[in-house]
């Protein structure tokens, strides 16, 4: 199975909105509403930010939102803050009952 495709880097100024894409196939992202997003700060374990495409776990700020169209899922961070600078990964359930991660996106707050 191939990794989901994400842009290597995305940047924005404080207060702006940014969107990270996660492109797969009809056998993963496009076929199931089991797409999740994770935030990872250096030296730390990933933290679940979005699950089932657009649901936020308790405690995650509502600045983080998720959506999906066809084979591409997206994570939008609104009102970008300095602490949002981190690596972000998507994951998806697949038709083989497996999971696959995205290639990862480094978010820089200018």
Stretch that binds another protein, among 14-22, 31-39, 63-71, 75-83 (CB under 8 A): 31-39
Q: Is residue 69 involved in binding another protein (CB under 8 A)?
A: no
User: DSSP letters of 6-75?
Assistant: --SEEEE-TT--EEEEEE--TTTTTT-S-EEEEEE-TTS--EEEEBTTTBPPTTS-TTEEEEEETTEEEE
Number of chain residues interacting with another protein (CB under 8 A): 26
DSSP 79: S
* Torsion sign (Cα): 94, 97, 103, 107: positive
| Cα Rg of the chain (Å, integer) | 13
Q: Is residue 108 involved in binding another protein (CB under 8 A)?
A: no
Q: Is residue 37 involved in binding another protein (CB under 8 A)?
A: no
Q: Is residue 34 involved in binding another protein (CB under 8 A)?
A: yes
Q: Is residue 66 involved in binding another protein (CB under 8 A)?
A: no
54 - beta bridge partners?
Answer: none
Instruction: Choose, by CB under 8 A, the member of 23, 38, 80, 109 that binds another protein.
Output: 38
Q: Is residue 65 involved in binding another protein (CB under 8 A)?
A: no
Q: Which residues bind another protein (CB under 8 A)?
A: 1, 3, 33-34, 36, 38, 45-48, 51-52, 55, 57, 89, 91, 93, 96-104
């Amino acid at each position: 199975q191939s990794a989901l495709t994400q842009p290597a880097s995305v940047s924005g100024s404080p207060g702006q909105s940014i969107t990270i894409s996660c492109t797969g196939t009809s056998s993963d992202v496009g076929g199931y509403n089991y797409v999740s997003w994770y935030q990872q700060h250096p030296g730390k374990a990933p933290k679940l930010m979005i699950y089932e495409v657009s649901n936020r776990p308790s405690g995650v700020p509502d600045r983080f939102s998720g959506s999906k169209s066809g084979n591409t899922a997206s994570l939008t961070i609104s009102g970008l803050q300095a602490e949002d600078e981190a690596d972000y990964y998507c994951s998806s359930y697949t038709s083989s009952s497996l999971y696959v991660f995205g290639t990862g996106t480094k978010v820089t707050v200018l």
